[in-house]
Amino acid sequence: MGPRNPDNLPLHLAFSILRVRSIGSGRSGWMKAARYVVALLILGLAVLLFPSGPVKIPPRANLPSPQDAGVTAWKKDVPAPPQDAEPETSLVFLLRSQAEAWNRGDIEGFMAGYWKSDKTTFAGSSGVSRGWEAVHDRYRRNYPDRAAMGQLTFTELEVTPLGPDAALILGHWQLKRQNDEPGGFFTLVSRRFPEGWRIIHDHTSASAPPAPARARN
């Protein structure tokens, strides 16, 4: 057996305490109760120190933008996140880089965040696009000019690690344009490659526009 995961040490210790036999004639009820109390305290500590589940990113996370980090505009490659960044930080950095590329009208730069492979997929209300080129063409077709692109923001980001080199991202997107402000939610599957994190699957949905207000009589 290899070394145990440090994150599971409190759990292993708690179960070890429960398995310990009473010393001498210590099969009395108070000894058993004491062991359970200690085990529960350790399990409670494990929940506090080693939480699981998605990591919610604050709306104003303390993370520099690509410009603040000294990264210039790019065409083919996503700028590198801060050195030794955690996966959550790297993925938020990736999405911020995409939003900044979009907001300067650079769809090529926006698409640099996707895995450039024929296995990349995008699912939306109009169907599924398979392959990086198909996803690229879809964006070009749906957003032919700066007016259609508007200003993009990503909020309500949650990153759930799926392993050391994969993660699920849930978030909300919003466009601000002259005549409307469409928005919705997205789910991304991202994978870490030698060149960095890339989106391998994108499922984006649009929220229904609000109903027009009724005129008062």
Q: Are residues 179 and 98 in the same domain?
A: yes
Q: Are residues 72 and 97 in the same domain?
A: yes
Condensed to tens digits (0 to 9), the pLDDT of residues 103-131 reads 999 999 999 999 999 999 999 988 999 99
Ramachandran category for residue 124: left, alpha or beta (phi over 0 → left; psi -120 to 50 → alpha): beta
Judge whether 216 lies within some domain.
no
Contact 22, 31 (CB under 8 A): yes
Looking at the predicted structure, is the pLDDT value of residue 17 above 60? no
Judge whether 115 lies within some domain.
yes
Looking at the predicted structure, is the pLDDT value of residue 102 above 90? yes
Q: Are residues 87 and 115 in the same domain?
A: yes
Q: Are residues 66 and 172 in the same domain?
A: yes
Ramachandran category for residue 131: left, alpha or beta (phi over 0 → left; psi -120 to 50 → alpha): left
What's the chain's average pLDDT? Answer: 75
Q: Are residues 132 and 157 in the same domain?
A: yes
- Rounded Cα gap, residues 197 and 90, in angstroms: 7
Q: Are residues 82 and 101 in the same domain?
A: yes
- Rounded Cα gap, residues 32 and 15, in angstroms: 13
Q: Are residues 41 and 63 in the same domain?
A: no
Judge whether 214 lies within some domain.
no
Q: Are residues 39 and 63 in the same domain?
A: no
Look up the CATH number of the domain holding residue 170: 3.10.450.50
Contact 146, 44 (CB under 8 A): no
Q: Are residues 11 and 106 in the same domain?
A: no
- Rounded Cα gap, residues 110 and 4, in angstroms: 40
Domain that holds residue 15: 6-49
Contact 201, 121 (CB under 8 A): yes
Condensed to tens digits (0 to 9), the pLDDT of residues 162-202 reads 999 999 999 999 999 999 999 999 999 999 999 999 999 99
**Residue 28 backbone dihedrals phi, psi, to 5 degrees:** -70, 160
User: How many structural domains are present in the chain?
Assistant: 2
Q: Scan for tokens 């500590």, then name that residue.
A: 45
For strand 121-124 and strand 196-206, is the pairing parallel, antiparallel, or unpaired?
Answer: parallel
How much is the pTM? 0.63
Q: Are residues 183 and 103 in the same domain?
A: yes
- pLDDT score recorded for residue 72: 32
Judge whether 79 lies within some domain.
yes
Q: Are residues 21 and 80 in the same domain?
A: no
Judge whether 144 lies within some domain.
yes
**Residue 89 backbone dihedrals phi, psi, to 5 degrees:** -65, -45
Lookup: tokens for 30: 């108070």
Closest-CA residue to 87 (of 191, 4, 7):
191
Condensed to tens digits (0 to 9), the pLDDT of residues 29-82 reads 555 555 555 555 544 544 444 444 555 554 434 344 444 433 333 334 555 555
Closest-CA residue to 122 (of 107, 135, 111, 109):
135
Judge whether 180 lies within some domain.
yes
Q: Are residues 44 and 60 in the same domain?
A: no
Closest-CA residue to 139 (of 91, 167, 173):
173
Contact 50, 10 (CB under 8 A): yes
